[in-house]
Structure 1
Amino acid sequence: MNKLIVSLSCAVCLAIAAVQAHAADDTSARFRAVYTQEWAWRQAQFKGADDEDSQGEAADHLPKVDAATQAERERYWAEVLKKLDGISPAQLHGDDPVNYAVYRNQIETLLADQRFRTWEMPFNSDTAFWTNLGFTARHPLRTAEEYRRYLRQLDDIPRYFDEQIANMRAGLARGFSVPRVTLTGRDQSIADVVNAKGDDNLFYTPFRRMPALIPADVQAQLRAQGRETIQRSVIPAYAKLLDFMRNTYMKQARTTLAAESMPNGKAFYRTQIREFTTLDMSPEAIHQLGLKEVARIRQEMDQTIRDSGFKGSFPEFLHYLRTDPKFYPKSGEELLKDAAWVAKRVDGKIDRYIGRLPRQRFAIEPVPADLAPFYTGGRGGPGIYLVNTYDLPSRPLYSLTALTLHESAPGHAMQMPLAAEHEGLPDFRRYTYISAYGEGWALYSERLGVEMEMYDTPYDRFGYLSYQMWRACRLVVDTGIHHLGWTREQAQAFMRDHTALSEHEIETEVDRYIAWPGQALSYYLGELAIVDARAKAEKALGERFDIRAFHDTVLSLGSVPLPVLQQQVDAFIAKGGKSPYAQEK
């Protein structure tokens, strides 16, 4: 009898297990169907879009951005979120629980932006829809058909700009705009397109050097069409935008600074914090953490000043760094060559710290002249590290190593291609960018430079610490402006007193934080998450800790929210600290 009971019990257990396995397979299939369909729809929505970090699918048009399309996107993503609510992550298996957490965060972020109508403010002091089109113009074209597609896209600029202008008018009407104080000079990049005639126009760039495989007579025809399209469509569209910016937007934009001063501002700022940091932290908690980290880094900076042999005070040392010509490049070429030397030194060391490296290489080029006056000191992404050679007295060489580690390798120009090349991940993890993870890794890369012995002099190390201080100051300044009501001058003074940034950098950076609430918080909070995760792994694994395996684990994730990063490092520890690629060997 007992054997029969045991036998029946086993049969029941097997039946239950089979049912559970079937339910898990069904749940995973439903989840994959949701994200596969939505991802394809999302790519179709943004075909033709471009910026310095990524290019949307090639298209003969620009994305629709009108209010009706925005409303449809809100409805669509709300429906997707409802479908996700009906899927239990506990019933998913394999990589899908992680995929679910990452994907849900993406949809919640996309939906929140639609509900707050952030598309009514489609630019800030760092990035603008009209300058993004410049990246499209700079992409090399290979075939006659690609040129014809580019021409059709240029013809779509008037429609695209009209929709953006209508959105900005709606934003102005409800007090949702870029702060007026950050707009000075931002119209120049528009005017440059209006005033550049013929072959000098930015949008003629692809026609200046055409592939030899295109027959000469076809090249001549395409060039003629390019000149005609620029004159007929591009310049009038930019002229209309310029008139709107100068005579309407710049005069009617809000005079307040804080995100919380806008309609439903407190909720909006909290949503921006969550979007850029992926954490549920209050502005007060972030502000206090920033002050704590500023004080801690200041102690390291003071020690580094002593190591340099300088005998004066902290303000005197900053003045020395900002004014002595030996710390600044004499030409843009010198700055680019020094950046290349730093990047090449990394090449010789990186395999000791990271196991899997990307196949894609990166170029080092100057920031385009039309963007440079208001651009950051550098920007990195797939295949490119842009170095700002504008206003050389504001480009200190003592910060160049930290900048290069952040923007090129092992930072952005390495992490982003690694994600794209990871074929085991769904596309929504390979080709999207979460600021807390991406900027956190890039800032951590600066810290990794200490272990890699990249900072040769006390001045280089001070430059690194100043960059760390810069990002810690952002926690204080961003929350100070958008939550505590700080003035622009107050924010600039805080940056001036605590970092070695030049005056030009301080002005452009503070304006960036004013016009882009929450984004500046992602860097330091992301770095702290990686530093804390590494410390936890080192403590738990002891002698089994392998720095290459740890970094491979972090970089194998694609772009993920910080709580997911922490969970995956816990799993790395539980598996004994093995590289995610160990099974491939």
Structure 2
Amino acid sequence: MTDTTTTRTPTAVDAIADRYHEAALALSPIGQTYLGIPGHETELDDFSPAGHEAHATLRAGVLRDLDAAEPVDDVDRVTISAMRDRLGLAQETHEAGIDIADLNVIASPLQEMRDVLDLMPTDTDEHWSHIAGRLRAMPAALDQWFESLHAGAERGIVSARRQVEACIQQTVDHTAGDGYFATLVSGARVDGNDLDESVRADLEAAAGEASAAYRAAGERLRDELLAKAPESDGCGREIYPLHSRRFLGAAVDLEETYAWGQEELARITEEMQRVAEQIKPGASVKEAMQALDADPAYQLHGTDALKAWMQEKADEAIAELGGTHFDIPVPVQTIECMIAPTQSGGIYYTGPSEDFSRPGRMWWSVPKGVEQFGTWRELTTVYHEGVPGHHLQVAQTMYRSELLNSWRRMDAWTSGHGEGWALYAERLMDELGYLDDPGSRLGMLDGQSLRAARVVLDIGVHCGFEAPAEVGGGSWTYDKAWQFLNAHADMAEGFLRFELDRYLGWPGQAPSYKIGERLWMQLRQELQQREGDAFDLKAFHRRALDIGGVGLDTLREALLRPTS
């Protein structure tokens, strides 16, 4: 297809953004690996208080530069608005001490320094030597993290006991005889062949050092932090708005959103029952799901079959949507579906490198022992992670080098924008008829039910709002949260327990999906009403995605501003 991106002359505002992008990456070897930038593969970020302060000092200087900057066009106006939002919220988070006390079950330094290994290439002995170097950096990085945790504790900021205990268990799991570090070494190959003897010896020694450091970290968490950790899971009504704005890039009325979440969940529940009737007349939703699980037409056996199916559906969506509902540049037409090396469950996306030599990838983390998969449940997830979801969103933004500066293309990610778009993408595929099959539609609604339930649960628990009547009202407790979540999500207990721990330890993130979708849908409807018959859905998608992953208030401001 022909790309219609307009070439734009970089401005002084672009220069500020580009300098910040380069300086922030210089402070983050992990960030460099995520973007596919070579050169610091054996290093990790500085997780100490000094490391956090270095980022804060950098942000403060950039915010001063932006105050003095004059925009020359709408692209500049969006850049200034987006950077003030993202960097300003990061500064508020730093001043509140949230960054130095960062500990949770999914997205704190304990996970980040291990997760980055999944993105490192393994095609040569040299690549494995880089992994060995990064493994050797883990003991020092963990020590730096503990410096920050203790600094946070001195300020009275410590994650909830449940999060500390779960992180301790993660260190036990990773360092077990069949845990992450052991399997990393046993599975190390180059083109199916064993590594060079010296490289393998170095990798084994480095993995041993990293494993010992993780084991020691678990012991330190138990000995040094657990007694200081509060029993309460909720972060509190006072601090929650900061978390919510950080993940949405927008301020929402939390009381109204809490009520809306309950109404939306009730709507989805009713719709699920109607679809269940189509699948098996007279059946409950659970019974309809059981029928789908038992139907061979929806079954896949083994991870090879799962990976092939993911790739087939992702490629099919790209071929059919490109040129009709979306402009999909040629490099973005490639997505690679992968089975993740971890076994924690879940599906996630990682973006391409800037030159697209490493494509965007959809990863499925398959729990140990799981060999059967139901496509009715996961087709909507392929659209969420692939096209028109995250892959189109992230990779297309990366591609727009003639329009957007490096910060806008590679750093400007906001959960409410990104995850909200991915849920919007699922709903769009339903609108376009790709989920007309009752089984696949029930799978989509099941995912929507989970996302709506966690709006209610997350806001309710952390803000201390009254629990819904279905769990007895009154104050939220862990048992009420579990009862509520279990009633509105069809997942194995292990998955769902992890999900609940994630919401309790990462305030504001989980609701950003459904709230983000709501804001995306409201924005589309507002533009449809304004433009009437002139509204063009494909043009809306193109214009919105070309803005990149800014906060949702910035997105709304940009899309509603008259085009010049």
Give the TM-score taking structure 1 as reference length.
0.80
Which residue number in structure 2 is paired with residue 81 of structure 1? 63
Q: Distance in 1 between matches of 2:534 and 2:478?
A: 49
Q: Contact 2:159–2:230 (CA<8 Å) still a contact in 1?
A: yes
The alignment status of 1:562 with 2:562, answered yes or no, reads: no
Query: Are 1:495 and 2:485 matched, yes or no?
Result: yes
| d(CA) in 1 for partners of 2:314, 2:211 | 39
Q: For the residues of structure 2 that align with 1:406 and 1:288, how far apart are their CA atoms?
A: 26
State the match for 1:420 in structure 2. 398
Aligned equivalents of 1:502, 1:211: Cα separation in 2: 34
Residues 50 and 239 of structure 1: is their aligned pair in 2 closer, same or farther, counting only changes over 3 Å? farther
Q: Secondary structure at the match of 2:157?
A: coil
User: In the TM superposition, what is the alpha-carbon distance from 1:97 to its structure 2 partner?
Assistant: 0.8
Match of 1:190 among 163, 171, 174: 171
Quickly say closer, same or farther: Cα 1:513–1:291, change in 2 above 3 A.
same
Secondary structure of 1:368's counterpart equals: coil
Superimposed CA distance per residue, residues 315-349 of structure 1 (whole angstroms, 9 cap, x where no aligned partner):
x3225525874168564435444434432432342
Deviation of 1:456 after TM superposition, in Å, equals 4.2
Q: Structure 1 residues 66 and 136 mapped into 2: Cα distance closer, same or farther (>3 Å)?
A: same
- Structure 1 SS opposite 2:231: coil
User: Residue 244 of structure 1: which of 212, 220, 244 is its match?
Assistant: 220
State yes or no: 1:404 paired with 2:382. yes
Q: Is residue 2:260 matched to residue 1:282?
A: no
2: CA distance between counterparts of 1:436 and 1:326? Answer: 36
Q: Distance in 2 between matches of 1:464 and 1:408?
A: 15
Report how far residue 189 of structure 1 moved.
Answer: 4.1
* Structure 2 equivalent of residue 181 of structure 1: 162
> 2:460 — aligned with what?
480
Deviation at 1:76, TM superposition (A): 3.3
Question: Contact 2:25 / 2:31 at 8 angstroms: preserved in 1?
Answer: no
Which structure 2 residues correspond to residues 309-348 of structure 1 after superposition, within 5 A?
Answer: 309-312=280-283, 316-321=284-289, 325-326=293-294, 329=299, 331-333=301-303, 334-348=305-319
Describe the superposition over 1:538-585 as per-residue Cα deviations: whole angstroms up to 9, x where unpaired: 3333443332222111211111111222233334x757xxxxxxxxxx
Q: CA 1:50–1:302 in structure 2 vs 1: closer, same or farther (change >3 Å)? A: farther
- AA matched with 1:201: A
Distance in 1 between residues matched to 2:67 and 2:180, nearest whole Å:
54
Paired residue for 2:539? 549
Secondary structure, counterpart of 1:222 in structure 2: helix
Q: Is the CA contact (8 Å cut-off) linking 2:97 and 2:157 kept in structure 1?
A: no
Greater RCO structure (CA 8 Å; 6+ sep): 2
Instruction: Work out which of the residue numbers 109, 126, 129 in structure 2 matches 1:129.
Output: 109
Match of 2:338 among 362, 365, 373: 365
Measured after TM superposition, the shift of residue 306 of structure 1 is 3.4
Question: Is it true that 1:256 corresponds to 2:232 in the alignment?
Answer: yes
Which deviates more, 487-496 or 550-559?
Answer: 487-496
1: CA distance, partners of 2:364 / 2:128: 28
1:149 positional shift: 4.6
User: Could you tell me how far 1:164 is from its partner in structure 2?
Assistant: 0.7
**CA contact 1:277–1:436 (8 Å) conserved in 2:** yes
Aligned to 1:34: 16
Contact 1:137/1:202 (<8 A) preserved: no
- Which residue in 2 is equivalent to 1:306? 277
Q: How many residues were matched structurally?
A: 528
Deviation at 1:162, TM superposition (A): 0.6
Shift of 1:302: 3.4
Higher helix proportion, which one?
1
Distance 1:395 1:330 in 2: 5
- Bigger CA drift: 191-200 or 138-147? 191-200
2:500 and 2:178 map into 1 onto residues whose CA distance is 34
**C-alpha separation between the residues in 1 aligned to 2:264 and 2:462?**
20
Pairing 1:226–2:203 present: yes
Q: Which moved more, 1:399-408 or 1:560-569?
A: 560-569
2:354 aligns with none
Cα distance, 1:55 vs structure 2: 5.5
SS state of the match for residue 379, structure 2?
A: helix
AA in 2 matched with 1:564:
T
**Contact 2:101–2:152 (CA under 8 A) maintained in structure 1:** yes
The answer as to whether partners of 1:155 and 1:229 remain within 8 angstroms in 2 is yes
Structure 2 residue aligned with 1:581: none
Return the offset for 1:132: 3.1
Q: Secondary structure at the match of 1:259?
A: coil
Work out whether residues 113 and 138 of structure 2, in 8 Å CA contact, stay in contact via their aligned partners in 1.
Answer: no
Task: State the distance in 2 between where 1:471 and 1:568 align.
Answer: 27
Query: Unaligned 5+ residue runs, structure 2?
Result: 1-8, 352-359, 465-474
- Corresponding residue for residue 429 of structure 1: 408
Greater shift in the superposed pair: 392-401 or 417-426: 392-401
Provide, for residues 353-376 of structure 1, a one-character-per-residue CA deviation record: whole Å limited to 9, x for no partner: 11234514222222334xx33x4x
- In structure 2, how many angstroms separate the alpha carbons of the residues matched to 1:504 and 1:200? 22
* 1:445 shift after superposition: 1.0
Gaps of 5+ in 1: 1-24, 261-265, 576-585
Distance 1:58 1:105 in 2: 30
Q: Matched residues in 1 for 2:97 and 2:374: separation? A: 39
How far residue 533 of structure 1 moved from its aligned partner, in angstroms, is 2.3
Aligned CA distance change for structure 1 residues 120 and 329 (closer, same or farther; 3 Å): farther
Q: Which one-letter code corresponds to 2:220 in the other structure?
A: F
Task: Note the C-alpha offset of 1:393.
Answer: 9.5
Deviates more, 1:407-416 or 1:300-309: 300-309
The one-letter code matched in structure 1 to 2:378 is: L
The answer to whether 1:462 aligns with 2:442 is: yes
Shift of 1:58: 3.9
Question: Paired residue for 2:349?
Answer: 380
SS at match of 2:247: helix
Give the structure 1 partner of residue 90 of structure 2: 110
CA RMSD of aligned residues (A): 3.3
CA distance in 2, matches of 1:400, 1:227: 37
Deviation of 1:267 (Å): 3.9
Comparing 175-184 with 191-200, greater Cα deviation is found at: 191-200
Q: What is residue 64 of structure 1 aligned with on the other side?
A: 46
Matched, 1:523 2:513: yes
- Answer yes or no: is the 8 Å Cα contact 1:322–1:502 preserved in 2: no
Amino acid at match of 1:271: L
Provide the identity percentage: 22
Q: Please give the alpha-carbon distance, in whole angstroms, between the structure 2 residues aligned to 1:144 and 1:286.
A: 52
DSSP-derived class of the 1:385 partner:
strand
AA paired with 2:88? E
Instruction: Identify the range of structure 1 (300-309 vs 397-406) with the bigger mean alpha-carbon deviation.
Output: 300-309
2 CA distance for matches of 1:142 and 1:339?
23
Q: Distance in 2 between matches of 1:163 and 1:81?
A: 27
| AA aligned opposite 1:402 | T
Shift of the alpha carbon at 1:392? 4.3
- Give the conservation status (yes or no) of the 8 Å contact 1:389–1:395: no
CA contact (8 A) 1:74 1:115 kept: no
> Does the residue aligned with 2:547 lie in a helix, a strand or coil?
coil
Take 1:237 and 1:435, find their aligned partners in 2: how far apart are those partners?
Answer: 31
* Amino acid of the structure 1 residue aligned with 2:215: A
> Cα gap change, 1:569/1:527 in structure 2, threshold over 3 Å: closer, same or farther?
same
**1:246-277 deviations in whole A, cap 9, x for unaligned?**
444445432111011xxxxx443111111111
Task: Show CA shifts across 1:365-406 (max 9, x none).
Answer: 22334xx33x4x311222221224326499654321111111
Counterpart-to-counterpart distance in 2, 1:78 and 1:513: 30
